[in-house]
Amino acid sequence: MKTGTEHILKSAFAYWSKTLLYQAVYSLIYFSLFFVGYFYLFQYFGLWDEFAKNSDLVRTDMAAFNQKMEEIARLPQTRNFGLAFFFLLAFLNPLNVGLYRIYRKADLGEAPEFNDLFAGYRGWDFFKFFGFYLFWIIIFTYANATVILGVVWIFVTLFSVPLLYFRNVNTFEGIRLTVTGLKRKFPAVVACVLVAVLFSMCGFIVFGVGILLTFPFWHAMIYALYQNIYKEVEEV
């Protein structure tokens, strides 16, 4: 298991380091659209005004501020904002598909292009991945109420996106194949996922803007695990 884990980790860092420029562009696009979309929705549903009216309470009466926040959380527009936020995330996450396409090109010895980042938005693929991510986010939101179920949901869908893209399977077939793959190397998968989470976040904790480079490492690790388990491309 140790040798297998080491090999997967080296592969993940190789995919990531060879495509740093594309990782940075991916992060810039993702975070830019995320924050623009988030603040637009926040203002569109009138939540910005609600928070602004009570902002002075932060300095004078924190208990009253917390009570106001609870009242705002129960407003109909807050629920509408939450639903719209789900759609925003589902719209952004097909960008992940582009990274998998770039990693596959690296395996095939082909030169990646910047428009590869938008592979998940082409034709019918956009609706397929938009639908999958919307489904994923909704299930995760409810499952994560118990934390453990949220973690389980992450693992049983870990390879769903590359499976949907490379094998053109449906969502439930992707989950089935993911579970089958997890059974083969579950200890290695757990170890690699922990490394991916820590490394992806260390750019924010240690370097600040370094998150633009480390954030996409999660997908490099998923692809390295995917390639190691399903072996769709012969190693050279």
Q: What is the mean pLDDT of residues 29-44?
A: 94
Overall average pLDDT of the 215-232 stretch? 92
Write down the pLDDT at residue 58. 64
Rg value, the chain, Cα: 20
CB-CB neighbours of 229 under 10 Å? 21
Q: Whose structure tokens read 């975070």?
A: 31
Which tens digit of pLDDT belongs to each residue from 42-88?
A: 889 888 887 777 777 666 767 777 787 788 888 888 889 999 999 99
Q: What does the alpha-carbon distance between residue 58 and residue 136 come to, in Å, rounded to a whole number?
A: 35
Task: Provide the CB-side half-sphere exposure for 74 (13 A, CA).
Answer: 5
How much of the chain, in percent, has pLDDT values that exceed 90? 67
pLDDT of residue 213: 85
In the chain, what percentage of residues exceed pLDDT 70? 94
C-alpha–C-alpha distance, residues 173 and 139, integer Å: 17
Cβ-proximal residues to 94 (8 Å cutoff; 6+ apart), any chain: 120, 121, 125, 126, 129, 130, 133
pLDDT at 2: 44
CB 4 within 8 A of CB 185: yes
DSSP labels for 46-110? THHHHHHHHTTHHHH-HHHHHHHHHHHHTSHHHHHHHHHHHHHHHHHTTHHHHHHHHHHHHHHTP
For 166-198, what is each residue's pLDDT tens digit? 999 999 999 999 999 999 999 999 999 999 998
Residue 8: name the closest of 131, 166, 190 by CA: 190
* Four-residue CA torsion sign, 175, 177, 178, 182: positive
Pairwise pLDDT comparison (155 vs 73), residue with the higher score: 155
Measured CA to CA, the distance from residue 169 to residue 189 in angstroms comes to 22
CA distance 204 to 209: 6
pLDDT band at 236 (very low <50, low <70, confident <90, very high): very low
